[in-house]
A and B are shown apart, each in its own frame.
Chain A
Amino acid sequence: MAAPKSATPTLNARNAAGSDVAPAARVGLLAVRRRRRRYPHALAAYLFLAPFLVLFVMFLVGPLFYALNLSVWRETLVGGRSFAGLANYADVFADESFWRGIRNMLLFGVFQVPIMLGLALIFALVLDAGTTYAKSLFRIGFFLPYAVPSVIAALIWGYLYGPSFGPFTQAANALGWAPPMFLSRTLMLPSLANIVTWEFTGYNMIILYSALQAVPKDVIEAAAIDGARPIRVARSIRVPLIAPTIVLTAIFSVIGTLQLFNEPQLMLAIAPDVIGNDYTPNIYAYTTGFVNQQYNYAAAISFVLGAFVVIISYAVLFFSNRRQTPAAA
């Protein structure tokens, strides 16, 4: 309304329109009032949420959609930018380098995750039952590697593995044995698995240990009074009761495995012939994006990898739920 800025026209306008607008306005007002009664402090809640949500949108939701958009375009030297639809995705699925990374990580995960979680569970059960000396030394000691950044862990193990001055090579040479080739094509995956196991066994142990601490002690005592041996109590009572936590650690480990980047990226420096630029899907995405400047294709790789992460996480969840149900009944 381009009326002069005085009070009268506004008042007039309100009076003139009054008869039409009032019912709608009243309904609106009622809705607001009803809402206020149901959500008396909604405004405060949104204000408490605002800082997180702003950052969440800027650095998680936003980038996700930005990457999604990137992945359906294509940049060529001659033709410039053109819409590619799902062509980039089709290329990823046909890309031998991508599958090499996925195969490596699946092979890695099939062995490393069960070994790591198995050790973590056994340690947590022993520490919780208290059938050992020096409990707190073990608890803190096992957890310490988690304080070492994964890059630095990889760097130290890289030197330990080293064929020039690694202690294992030195010991083997002194004994006249063939030195173990930790960084060779055949042993690289186990060597990486060892670094990850070293870093995260204690972390998972602490999570499982705190879950075990919350298991009601009277149930365990009742079983013991009924004559159940400690191993039987662990298998039939303590482990089933913390099953949700075990599944949680399994899912986080699987997600971590598929996203492996730091450790192999460091190994690339000392074993370039073995690692290459497609050893894991993330290394491949990184080289594609930041070395070859193919952002669009790199975004498509990341999305296919993300889809794998979601599918495999749900598979772990699904199978663990199915296995739990008969046991509970």
Chain B
Amino acid sequence: MRSLRAYIITRTLLTIPMLFVLVTLVFLVLRIMPGDPVEALIRPGAPREYIEQIRHSLGLDKPIPEQYLDYLGRLLSLEIWIAPADQEVTPVAEVLLPPGEPRLAFRFAPPVFFQFLLLPEDPRLGLGIWPGRPLSRNSYLVQFPTPGTPAESLPLQVGFVDMGTSISPVRGRPVAWDIAEKFPATLELAICSIIVTMLVGVSTGAYSAHKRRSVADYTFRIYSIAIWAMPVFWLGLMLQLILGVGLNLLPVYGRIDTGLDPERITGLYLVDSLVTLNLPSFMDALKHLILPSLTLGLYLSGIFTRLTRANMLGTLQQDFIIAARARGIPERVVVYKHALKNAFIPILTMIGLQFAALLAGAVLTETTFSWPGMGSFIVERIGYRDFASIQGAVVFFAFLVASVSLMVDIIYARLDPRIRY
């Protein structure tokens, strides 16, 4: 059991019950707690029958355990669905399946985390690989069958992993599509923020340890405490105020100026505009990115300052550092090369631990900067009381957190052979 492979397998298997607990918890929070999504959605005074109809079509009239199983099934499923040729469909949004064509489709639904990579471009086939083409913005089928139709005679069910169907009046398409559309923006912000965090946190921490008890050391230590006590959105507002409005250096809202959107390949504007050699878009996207990633990056950097400093101080007392000094290696090289390298393993672990904080911070930062990512999406959906979307987004984040912590643990185990089960 002491091999790396055994560790990886055990660690991966341990992720499954954890995810299961989280998915269940989110489901329970959203279903058991008082509150009816459909009723909250529909304007008061809507006909009772209409409400019942929507509730039925979304499966909300089933008993809770059955709804729970349905939901799990939608998250991870292998499905075969058959569309009868002569079924009439009464869709609310649009007719998805033209009648008269019998078809048979097999589909393997990948786990949710990868779902944003594989989206059905053509719902009739359930295939179509994203990235590649822009996602359709058309509302997607929510088939509301006429009341009284027996379940057996219903046309094919919307069978693929959709994390629930967004039920706002204007949308009604799988939540997975929304996530696929919004997540790249959040990813871009998160990556840039991590870069800022690492640059600021590690350099201040290392310098603090190097020049221990200097004025700079005390300043950085106070900085690391103060920045953590700051609400991240307030930090953002202050940066907007000073750099955006006061000095008029950088744009305050949004991700890119209108009309400059690069062609969608990965959804990351910086990458897309570089690949298509669209320089104006690239510069504009970069300008928009600076303030939000600075906000989120600085917010998280305090903890890395502390961590790097503490680790470096520990390392600097070790024998190999004394030996390096004794050999006459310049102090600068000893500190920033020999010692810093050794401080990186705990820093890596910390990235994994802070990933949840990064996502929570991203939600607030996005709202502050009107950044069109997952955070803004969740907040916007709350306004519509669209619980399917909220549930989908939250579960998606759960998968993300679990995957990242799994990855970090595996890398950690590779780097440090002492870590084994």
Is the A/B pair a real complex?
no
Q: Which residues of B contact A (CB under 8 A)?
A: none
Interface residues of A (CB under 8 A from B): none
